[in-house]
Amino acid sequence: MAFLNGPRLLDWASSPPYLQFNKFVLTGYRPACTVQECLRSLFYLHNELGNIYTHVLYIMCFIVVLCLDKPGSQRLLQWKKWLHYLAQSSPHSRLSVYHFFLHGGGGEGGQPVYPVCPTLSILLLCLTNSLGAMPIIYCSLLCYPTTRHIALLGYTLLSSYAIFCAVTAQSNVTRLQSFAGQAFFRFLFFFLRWYDTGYGSPTSLRNFLIMDALALLGGIINVARIPERWKPGKFDYWFNSHQIMHVLVVGSILHLHWGVVDDLLWIGKYQCPPE
């Protein structure tokens, strides 16, 4: 990719205080941008470029995957299919805009819009984490409608509390801990699937375990600021912790998609045992 000549980039000490959240990324900060200048920043090198394009990478991958899945998609249950698609596509399309306009906001730069950005980012990630599990719970308890309704309600309440904790968290560590309850809830259903094949598609469990493993690994790497912590300034533009997390999250959500598609297709074939 050929890059344009951009404006003079700032170092960490010269960047606005609200952008100094990773002290190991020392250079490459865009100056305050207008909307037009944000658009131009898609074509010159700065330290947000990788974050923007890794979200775009996910959107492109998801479009390709949906096209490949299209022959079987007519057999999916409609509301669960569209709930799943919303959980899959909404966060990354909006998070790419978040990184795109991170330094934008008119004459004063990004500060007027920045306070909204982290909250929006967290809410969108919570959307995937919360809505993405709903089809898993539904399919796991397909033959137990009363328990299924209670479990879906319980997960909704738990997710609401997790969103509140994540949005109000004062650090990346406490924010990561906010999702522990949801992860434990999901693992209860993963155990049911491992214990008895009547709780969802037998082929989907592997995808769900990989999904959570990749998401957890990405979160830990982002919190630990690895590898830039080891060599500050060497990973300012590429391969820093946030970009690595993005790539791992792409893999995580794709595995969620493959697992949920297996489950929804399984519903069309599976017959619940008579009571």
Q: Looking at 2-6, 83-87, 162-166, 265-269, which range is the least confident one? A: 83-87
Distance of alpha carbon 120 from alpha carbon 124, whole angstroms: 6
Highest mean pLDDT among 15-24, 67-76, 240-249: 240-249
pLDDT digits (tens, 9 = 90+) for 172-220: 788 778 888 888 999 999 999 998 877 888 889 999 999 999 988 988 9
What torsion, rounded to 10 degrees, do the Cα atoms 58, 60, 62, 68 define?
A: -150
Lookup: tokens for 106: 């008119």
Say if residue 49's pLDDT is above 60.
yes
Which SS3 state, helix, strand or coil, does residue 29 take? strand
Query: In the predicted model, is pLDDT for residue 121 greater than 80?
Result: no
Binding site: which residues?
99, 242, 246
| Higher pLDDT among residues 170 and 140, named by residue | 140
pLDDT at 126 over 90: no
Number of other residues whose CB lies within 10 A of the CB of residue 59? 16
Give mean pLDDT, residues 80-88.
Answer: 53
H-assigned helices in 132-179:
134-140, 145-168, 172-177
User: Is 9 within 8 Å of 28 (Cβ atoms)?
Assistant: yes
pLDDT top residue among 161 and 18: 161
Of the chain, the percentage scoring pLDDT greater than 70 comes to 72
Q: What are the DSSP calls for 47-73, one per residue?
A: TTHHHHHHHHHHHHHHHHHHHHHHHHH
pLDDT at 110 over 50: no
For residue 11, what pLDDT is reported?
A: 92
Contact assessment for residue 242 and residue 51, using Cβ atoms and an 8 Å cutoff: yes
- Which amino acid, 105? G
Phi (first) and psi of residue 269, to 5 degrees = -110, -30
- Looking at residue 228, the DSSP 8-state letter turns out to be T
Phi, psi of 56 (to 5 degrees): -65, -35
pLDDT of the residue at 78: 53
- Record the tokens describing residue 272, joined without a space: 């619940």
Residue ranges for the known binding site for Zn(2+) are 99, 242, 246
pTM of the model: 0.77
